Amino acid sequence: MLIAAYAIGARDAFVYVRAEYPLAIVRLEKALADARKAGILGQSVLGSGFACDIRIKAGAGAFVCGEETALIESLEGSRGMPRLKPPFPAEKGYLNKPSNINNVETFANVAWIILNGGAKFAAMGTENSKGTKVFALTGKIRRGGLVEIPMGLTLREVIFGIGGGIRDGKRFKAVQMGGPSGGCIPESLLDTRIDYKELGATGAIMGSGGMVVMDETTCMVNMAKFFLDFTARESCGKCVHCRIGTRRLHEILTRITEGRGKEGDVELLEELCRGIKDGALCGLGQTAPNPVLTTIRYFRDEYDAHICERRCPAGECAALRKFWIDPAKCKGCGACARKCPVKAISGEPRSPYAIDSAKCIGCGSCEGACKFGAVSRV
Amino acid sequence: MEAKNVSLTIDGVKVEVPEGTTVLAAAEKAGIEIPNLCFLKSLAPYGACGVCVVEAEGCPKLLRACATTVREGMVVNSKGERALKARKLAFELLMGDHDGDCLGPCKIECPAHTDCQKYVGEIAEGPTARSTSARSPKGASPTPLRR
């Protein structure tokens, strides 16, 4: 950051951290205090006469504040809402002064490049994307966590190599790349290299570097609904396309997962998604439809199963789940009947119990209660 | 100091305006109407409604006419298919979300297809249960997107 400040002649620098990350703030404060003591920050950086100080701004954690102009608004003490661009922050940023705004990861790369040279940095990665990138590997993966990898590795190498594959011997289904507004990539595209251009071609994005791995038990429609629920709530409410559009998307996805989907809903979703991408003011709205578009692109059959057959292939959507007790395995203990919140299970002790599918709400309590594996999904 | 003039083309019409003028104002000068909702002359542009979007040659994104300042040689298309589509969606979303707060009596056909006359008439006549049949089950106006 200091190098960037020196390059553009900036006296004031800020690190914007979510207030919900107190440990990060404590550590940053200590690092800044140490740097001031060592003369790296302050009136004369390393005795050069160049003055610069870094301050910490704790943000309230709104997702949209990752958007640069919303972050600047928040920095100035206003509500985190994106500004119209142009003017870009480089012309009019913080306090309407020209500002340079970057991710911490980008700044961290600058120091490495200065120390080791640009050629060495560019030697890693692909033609389009150089260097390394940090990913947050999570989900149904054996070894999750933060991983820094050179660009150009394939998704398969990261998920099955570094991540050790899928937990509990389940089958890989998809990976959500780039955070809540990224896209999901199916198994057939696992050999895609991690590169801005190649990822973009799949409909996903590098985005925040999130990598959420999903197995066969994840319903892709429900997954899209989950992410839209997030973006709809995190929408700052400024522009119409994002504020209302994401809510409508979420409504349509909800009715599909609850078995109330209509024919033509998928086309309606696609039309709405493209419109939102085109009309939204900032990155949040422009990327929010990605999970919907990519799940439709790669898992259209799951949408159709929900809408036409009122069936959730992954068995995750509670409203579409039905359970069945195998009389051969049931010992008649009654544990399931005691757990059932709607009293849909009846039977005599020591003889097989049965589920009344008309009463069953598909919550799955019985499945968890059975010690003999007699309850299964239909 | 005299402000510099910038010339641009909007929908095929050449127009010259002072530097710093918005596309919306330039269009007005050229006699071209670009619809808008959240724009108010006396206030700074807010750019929320998305109704005034236009296409510009060489620009990958749609531009909000109310908030975009003109550039020399700019070629603007205010009636392109993409702009019209985005504009229609913005309006559809807004209409679909509004609480029947429009100003009566209606001068045009209701874009939300609500028969307000019938609704108001039936409320006046008495049984409110029947009057609700004129309304959508959700909110005051049936939204085009809640179809």
pLDDT > 80? residue A116 = yes
Q: Judge whether B81 lies within some domain.
A: yes
Structural contact between residues B127 and B119, judged by C-beta atoms closer than 8 angstroms: no
Q: How far is it, in rounded angstroms, from Cα B124 to Cα B127? A: 9
The string of pLDDT tens digits covering residues A294-350 is: 999 999 999 999 999 999 999 899 889 888 899 999 999 999 999 999 999 999 999
Cα–Cα nearest to A236, from A61, A94, A97: A61
Shared domain for B10 and B35, answered yes or no, is yes
Inside any domain, residue B41: yes
Q: What is the mean pLDDT of residues A33-40?
A: 96
Domain count, chain B: 2
CB atoms A279 and B82 under 8 Å: no
Q: How confident is the model at residue B137 (pLDDT cuts 50, 70, 90)?
A: very low
Domain boundary, last residue among B62, B78, B93? B93
Residue ranges making up the domain that contains B116:
100-136
My answer on whether B75 and B123 are in the same domain is no
Same domain, B21 and B37: yes
pLDDT at A203: 94
Tell me: do B111 and B44 sit in the same domain.
no
Q: List A59's β-bridge partners, or say none.
A: A18
Give A376's pLDDT tier (boundaries 50, 70, 90): confident
* CB within 8 Å: B67 and A84: yes
Q: Which residues of B touch A241 (CB under 8 A)?
A: 50, 86, 89-90, 93
pLDDT band, very low/low/confident/very high, at B146 (cuts 50, 70, 90): very low
CB contact under 8 A, B145 and A268: yes
The model's pLDDT over B100-124, given as tens digits with 9 standing for 90+, comes to 556 667 777 666 666 777 777 777 7
Same domain assignment for residues B39 and B107: no
Does the residue B109 lie in any domain? yes
Tens-digit pLDDT profile for residues A66-84: 999 999 999 999 999 999 8
Q: Which of A86, A244, A275 sits opposite B94 (nearest CB)?
A: A244
For residue B143, is pLDDT > 50? no
Mean pLDDT (chain A, rounded): 94
Is there a single domain that holds both residue B14 and residue B84? Answer: yes
What is the structure's pLDDT at A267?
Answer: 96
The single residue listed with the structure tokens 């890693």 is A124
Q: A377 in helix, strand or coil? A: strand
The CB-based long-range contact list for A129-133 (8 Å cut-off, 24+ gap) reads A129/A194, A129/A195, A129/A196, A129/A197, A133/A105, A133/A194, A133/A206, A133/A209
Q: Do A244 and B96 touch (CB under 8 A)?
A: yes
What are the tens digits of pLDDT across the range A257-302? 999 999 999 999 999 999 999 999 999 999 999 999 999 999 999 9
Look at residue B147 and tell me whether its pLDDT is greater than 60. Answer: no
The alpha-carbon gap from A200 to the nearest alpha carbon of chain B, in Å, equals: 16
Q: Is residue B14 one of the residues assigned to a domain?
A: yes
Q: b/e for A104-133, b at 16 or more Cβ within 10 A? A: eeebebbeebeeeeeeebeeebbeebbbbb
What pLDDT score does A229 carry? 97
Both B41 and B89 in one domain: the answer is yes
* pLDDT given for residue B78 in this prediction: 95
Q: For residue A208, name the pLDDT band (cuts at 50, 70, 90).
A: confident
Residue B1 — very low, low, confident or very high, per pLDDT cuts 50/70/90?
Answer: low
Q: Which two tokens stand for residue A158?
A: 């990261």
What is the CATH number for B61? 3.10.20.740
Interface test with B, best of A79, A84, A286, A287 (most B CBs within 10 A): A84
Across the interface, which of A239, A244, A276 has its CB nearest the CB of B97? A244
Domains and CATH numbers, chain A: 2-109 (3.40.50.11540), 132-215 (3.10.20.600), 220-308 (1.20.1440.230), 321-377 (3.30.70.20)
- The torsion angles phi and psi of A213, rounded to 5 degrees, stand at -90, 135
Which is more confidently placed, A86 or A346? A346
